[in-house]
Structure 1
Amino acid sequence: MLVIKLNAIDSTNDYLKQLNKEKTLSDYTVVTTFSQTKGKGQMGSNWISEPGKNLTFSVLVKDSVTLQSSIFDCNVAVAVSVLEVLQSLKIPNLNIKWPNDILAESKKIGGILIENSIKADGMIDTVIGIGLNINQEDFSGLPSASSLKNIVEKDFDLEFLLEKIVNQLKSNLNKLPLRKEFFWEKYKSHLFKINQPMAFEDLNQNRFMGIITGVSSDGKLELVLEDDSCQTFGLKEIRMLY
C-alpha cells in the first residue's frame, strides 16, 4: 500500500485525482495530509479539521465499480467499513446519517466523499475521501460535531487508524460482489433515525415531516410522508433537520 504523506494540501481527493491522471498508480494508493485547507463534503460543503489532530485522507480504488447501477453499493461498503473499525474501538452509539456521515452519540465524527471517474474502457476509478475527527477537542460553533477523543476520553494513534481503515476498505470492497446484501443490511440497521418521525427541508425551504424507511439501490432516501405516501429523495433535494 503506497501512502503519500503531505504537510498541507487543499483537498486530498483533488490531489489524488490529478495524480492518477498524470501517472499510473497502484490500487489502494493513499494520500493523507497533516493539514487540509479546503476539504470537501457532500454538496460542496467544507470539511474543517484542526491540523495534526484528525484523519483526512483519500484512497484510490481501481475497477472496483464496473456498472453505474452498483455505484451506491460501493458507498454502502465504504460507510460500513468505517463503522466496523470504530466498532472495534468500542466507540458507542454509532450511526450512519444518510448518505455517508458517521455519527457517534448523535454527533458527527466523520464524513465520506466518493468520486468516480469513468475511463474510456468503461471501467471506473474511485477516489474515496474520508475525514474523521479523532483527537480534536474544540468544536466551538459546531454543536453537532464531536470526536473520538471527546466521546471516549482517550487519544488515538492516527497512523494505526489509517492503516486499519484502509485494510478494512480493501477487505470489504473485495467481498462486495458476494456480500452486497450483508453490507446493505448493516448500513440500513445503523441508519440514523430510521423508522422515526423526522423534520426535513426541501430546496424551497419548505419544511415537512417524514419517516425514514430505508435507502433505494441508487442511493435515494425513502420516506413515508404525513399523507402516508411513499417518496424517494436525492441528496440535493432535501435536508434532514435534527
Structure 2
Amino acid sequence: MKIIKISATESTNDYLKVLSREKDLEDGTILVAHDQTKGRGQRQNSWVSKAGESLTFSVLKRFDGFPVSQKSALTFAVSIGMKIALDELQISSVEIKWPNDIMADGKKVAGILIENSLSGRNIQSSIIGIGLNVNEEEFKALPQATSMYLNTGRRYEINRVLEIVAQEVLHQLSLIKPSGNSELKQHYEHSLFRKHYISVFETETGKKFNGSIRGVTDQGELLVETEHESIQHFTFKEIKLHY
C-alpha cells in the first residue's frame, strides 16, 4: 500500500486523477491531504472538512476486464470496508445509508465518491474518494453530521485511522469478482440504514411518500416497499431518503 501525503489540495480525487495520468502509479495507491478545500460529494454536494481533524483521501483501483455492469460492487465493497473499519475502531451503530454514506448513531460520519474511467464496456480504473470526520467537536450548520470523537468521546491519531480504514477498504475491493458479487451485496444489504423501518422518500419530481427499504438490486438500485405493498426499485437520481 503506497501512501502519498500532501499538505493541501482542492480535491484529492482530482489530484490523484491527474497524478495517475502523469505517472505509472501502482494499484492501491492512496493520496491523503492534510487539508482539502473543495471536496465533492454525491448530488453535486460539497464535502466540508477541517484541516487536521478530518481524514480526506483517495484510492486508485486498477482493473483488468472488469465490466461496467458490475460497478455497483465498488459501492458495496468500499461501504462495507468503511463499516468494518469503524466497527474495529469501536464506533457505535455504524450503518450504510444508501448508496454510500456512512452513518454512526443515525448521523453522517463519512462519505464516499467513486469516479470511474471506462474503456469500452469495462472499467479501466476507479478513483475512490473518502471523507471521514475524525476529531471534530461540533458541526454548527450540519445537525445531521457527527465525528468519531463525538461518537465515542475519544480523540484519534489520524494516521492510525487512515491505516485501518485504507487496509480494510483495499481488502474488500480485492474480493470483487467480474462474474458477480452476491456475498458483497448481502453484506451491504445487512448493513443498510433504516432497513425495514417506515421512512419518508422524495422522488426527483418532488413527490413524497412513505415506504420501507427492503434491499438493493444487483445493479445497486434501492428496493422500497410502498404503502400499497408493492416493491419498487429506484436509481440514485430518482429518489432521496428523508429520515
* TM-score (normalised: structure 2): 0.94
Q: Partner residue of 2:220?
A: 219
Q: Is contact 1:65-1:71 (8 Å) kept?
A: no
CA distance in 1, matches of 2:186, 2:121: 32
CA distance in 2, matches of 1:91, 1:116: 30
1:30-78 CA distance string (max 9 Å, x none): 1111111111111111000111101100000110670112111121011
Q: Is contact 2:35-2:52 (8 Å) kept?
A: yes
Q: Partner residue of 2:170?
A: 170
Q: Partner residue of 1:189?
A: 190
Q: Partner residue of 2:149?
A: 149
Q: Is contact 1:41-1:112 (8 Å) kept?
A: yes
Identify if the C-alpha distance between structure 1 residues 122 and 106 changes in structure 2 by more than 3 Å, giving closer, same or farther: closer
- Higher mean alpha-carbon deviation, 68-77 vs 97-106, is at 68-77
- Higher mean alpha-carbon deviation, 98-107 vs 161-170, is at 161-170
Q: Partner residue of 1:46?
A: 46
Q: How does 1:64-75 map to 2 (within 5 A)?
A: 66-75=66-75
1:11-47 CA distance string (max 9 Å, x none): 1011111111222111111111111111111111100
CA distance in 2, matches of 1:117, 1:220: 21
Gaps of 5+ in 2: none
Q: Is contact 2:86-2:165 (8 Å) kept?
A: no
Give the C-alpha shift of residue 123 in structure 1. Answer: 4.6
Q: Is contact 1:119-1:125 (8 Å) kept?
A: no
CA distance in 2, matches of 1:173, 1:241: 29
Give the C-alpha shift of residue 120 in structure 1. Answer: 6.5
The answer as to 2:23 corresponding to 1:11 is no
Residue type matched to 2:172 in 1?
N
CA distance in 2, matches of 1:210, 1:124: 37
Give the C-alpha shift of residue 229 in structure 1. Answer: 2.1
Q: What SS does the corresponding residue of 1:73 show, helix, strand or coil?
A: helix
Identify if the C-alpha distance between structure 1 residues 68 and 179 changes in structure 2 by more than 3 Å, giving closer, same or farther: closer
CA distance in 2, matches of 1:14, 1:65: 24
Q: Partner residue of 2:133?
A: 133
1:142-180 CA distance string (max 9 Å, x none): 110000001100111111111222211222222233993
Q: Is contact 1:54-1:131 (8 Å) kept?
A: yes
Q: Is contact 2:202-2:242 (8 Å) kept?
A: yes
Q: Pairwise CA RMSD of aligned residues? A: 1.7
CA distance in 2, matches of 1:35, 1:119: 32
* TM-score (normalised: structure 1): 0.95
Q: What SS does the corresponding residue of 2:236 show, helix, strand or coil?
A: coil
Aligned-residue identity in percent:
38
Q: Partner residue of 2:115?
A: 115
Residue type matched to 2:226 in 1?
L
Residue type matched to 1:146 in 2?
T
Residue type matched to 2:73 in 1?
D
CA distance in 2, matches of 1:164, 1:109: 16
Identify if the C-alpha distance between structure 1 residues 168 and 129 changes in structure 2 by more than 3 Å, giving closer, same or farther: same
CA distance in 2, matches of 1:230, 1:200: 14
